[in-house]
Structure 1
Amino acid sequence: MSNKATTTPSSCARPLRLGRIGYLNVLPIYHPLESGIIQHEYELVAGPPAVLNNMMARGDLHVSANSSVEYAHRPQNYLLVPDLAIGSRGPVQSVLLLSRRPVEDLADQPVLVSAETHTSAALLRLLFRDYYKFPVRYEVGSATGRIASGNPPEAFLAIGDEALRLRNHPEFPYRLDLGEAWRQWTGLPFVFGVWVVSRAAAASGCFASDPCELLQRARNWGELHMDVILDLTLQGCPLTREELRQYYQGLVFHMGFPEMEGLRLFYHRLAEAGEIPAAPELEFFSM
C-alpha cells in the first residue's frame, strides 16, 4: 500500500459500504450477500458502473465493483481484490455494438454510447482506432430512449441488461460482441470490471475482517449454485433458461494469469492512445 490515496472516504464510519453493479452478471456474487446466506457487515449500494466509479472516487464507498478503466485513472486510490473480476474469454453477450449497417460501413457515422459505461466505451474507441482503423463520431445518450422516441441511432453501444434485452432487435441486424472482438484482436480475455478496496479505508484500519475473502466466498457460492442464480435471473428476463445458462458460462469471475495479462494489455493500449497517462501496476489488497 505504498501510494497515498488522494481522497479520504468516510473512513471507518459504520456501516461499511460495498458497491454493487446493478446488472444480472454480478448476481452470482451478490445474491449470497443480499439474501443473508453469507453474513457480513456491509451496506450494499447498487448502481450502474459509472455511478459506482464516481462514488468510489469521492470516497463514498469502502469496497466496490468498478469499471476496469476507473482503476487505471486513479490507481493511487485503490487496491484490487485478488482473483475476482467480471470478464470474458470470448463472447460476453452483454457488451454489444448494435448497428443498422455492417461495422465496416460505420466510418464517419454516429455511434451512440451510454453514459453508464466507461470501460466498454474505452474498449470501443480502441477497437475503432487500432483494430478497424477508421473514425466514427461518438454521441452520448440512451439507446432505449431514442428507439422508443422513434429516432433510433445508426449504431449504439449497449451494455448489461439493456444489451441482453436489445441484442435481437430487428432494426439492428448487425451485432459486434466487444469481448469476442478483443479476443480476436489479442488472443486474451477481457476484464470489464474489477473489485477495488479504498486505500484510505485500508490505511485507516476499517476492516476487521478481509473484504476480499468475503467477496471470493460469495463468488464461490454463486458458482456452486448456478441453478439458484438461474431461477432468480429468469424473473422478468427476456432470455430463456438455456440462454441464461450460456450467458453465465461465457463470463469469467476470476482474475487468473490470462485475465491479468489481458488487463495489462488493455491499460498499455489505453496509454498508447492517450486515454490514461500511463499503464498502472496491478496492486492487490491483502490483510
Structure 2
Amino acid sequence: MPETALRMGRISYLNVLPIYHPLEAGILPHDYELVAGPPALLNDMMGRGELHVSSCSCFEYARRPGRYYLVEDLSIGSRGPVMSVLLLSRVPVEELDGREILISGESHTSVALLRLLMRDRYGLRVTYRTGQVSPALRSATPPVAFLAIGDEALRLRNHPGYPHRVDLAEAWRDWTGLPFIFGLWVVSREAADRGLFHDDPGELLRRGRDWGLAHMDVVLDLTGHGCPLSREELAFYYREGLVYSLGGEELRGLHLFYEKLATAGIIAAVPPLRFFSL
C-alpha cells in the first residue's frame, strides 16, 4: 500500500451519517479512502494496521491503548435514550436471572455495557450466546432476550414478541448520571509516528460533524428512505438521542466505564487517554 494512501474507517450505521456525508459527497475535499463496516470489523482492521484512522469502539481503545491516539472532541454517544442499542426481552428484565441472552458480534462496547448492567446494575446472573439476531428471531427457538444494535435495533425496537425493552444508554445514565460513549475516533500510533499525516484527520472529521449538524434537513432527506423511523423520530435521534462531542462530561462517563470494566476484570486496567497532535 503506498504511504500516501491513507484509509479511514466509517461505521456502516445511520448514526454517523452527519459526520461522513460531507466527506462522501465531496462537500469537504480530502485524500482518504473511506472503508465502511460494522464496529467490530473496523476494530479488527485498525488492530491489524489496515486502517490509519477510524471510528472505533471505546472497548477496543481500552484493550489496546498503546496502538492508538484519540481524536479530540469527537465521539458517538448518548446523554439519555440512544434508541439504537437495546435489550429486548419476552419477560421483564428481573426474570432473566439464569436465562440466556443472544448478543450481536458487531459491537464489543455494547456487549461489555450489557454485561456490566446485568451484573452490577440489576444483580442478575445470565449467560450469553453470540449470533445473528434477525435469523434467530425467525428460527423455531427464538431467544428469550437479545441485544440489538445500530440500524437493526431501530428496526426491531417495537417487536411485538419482545415487549420489555431496556435502552442501554438510558440505563447507564440512570445508574451513573453521566453520558455513555459507545465509540471514539482513533489514529494509528504507528502511522502517526511514521509521519504519514500531514493534516489533522480530527479537524476534517469535526468539520464534517459540524456541517452535518448544521444541515440536518439534508441528513434527514438521505436517511428517510426505507428507514423504520419517521422524520420526526429521526430528527430526535440525531439531535437528542446522540452526542458527537467529547467534552468534560463525556470524558467523565468514559473514564467511569473504564473503571467499572477494570473492576469487573473485563479489561486489564483503566487506559490513559492520549490524544493525537501533529
Q: TM-score, normalised by structure 1?
A: 0.95
Residue among 251, 266, 285 paired with 2:257:
266
Select between 18-27 and 125-134 the one with higher mean Cα deviation.
125-134
Q: State which of 74, 78, 81 in structure 2 corresponds to 1:84.
A: 74
1:240 paired residue number: 230
Residue 253 (structure 1) aligns with: 244
**Match in the other structure for 2:198:** 208
Once the two structures are overlaid, the 10-residue window that deviates more, 231-240 or 38-47, is 231-240
The corresponding residue for 1:61 is 51
Aligned-partner Cα distance in 2 for 1:30–1:152:
36
Unmatched 5+ stretches in structure 2: none
Q: Secondary structure at the match of 2:261?
A: helix
Deviation at 1:28, TM superposition (A): 0.2
Say yes or no: does 1:170 pair with 2:160: yes
Report the Cα distance in structure 2 between the residues aligned to 1:244 and 1:148, rounded to whole angstroms.
27
Q: Which amino acid aligns with 1:193?
A: G
**Cα distance, 1:281 vs structure 2:** 1.1
Deviations 1:86-124 (A, max 9, x none): 000010000000000111110011100011110000000
- 1:13 is displaced (CA, Å) by 2.4
User: Within 5 Å, which residues of 2 pair with 1:52-131?
Assistant: 52-131=42-121
Query: SS of 1:56's equivalent?
Result: helix
Gaps of 5+ in 1: 1-9
Aligned partners of 2:270, 2:39: CA distance in 1, in Å?
Answer: 21
Structure 2 contact 4–196 (Cα < 8 Å) conserved = no
Task: Report the number of matched residues.
Answer: 277
Alpha carbons 2:23, 2:30 under 8 Å: kept: yes
**Structure 1 moving runs of 4+ over 4 Å:** none
Give secondary structure in 2 for the equivalent of 1:252: coil
Cα distance in 1, alignment partners of residues 166 and 61 from structure 2: 26
> What is the CA–CA distance in structure 1 between the aligned matches of 2:78 and 2:242, rounded to whole Å?
5
1:147 aligns with 2:137: yes
> C-alpha separation between the residues in 1 aligned to 2:225 and 2:245?
26
Q: State the 1:246 CA deviation.
A: 1.0
For the residues of structure 2 that align with 1:56 and 1:159, how far apart are their CA atoms? 21
| RMSD across aligned positions (CA) | 0.9
Q: Is the 8 A contact 1:143 1:152 kept in 2?
A: no
In the other structure, the counterpart of 2:186 is 196
**Local SS of the residue matching 1:229:** helix
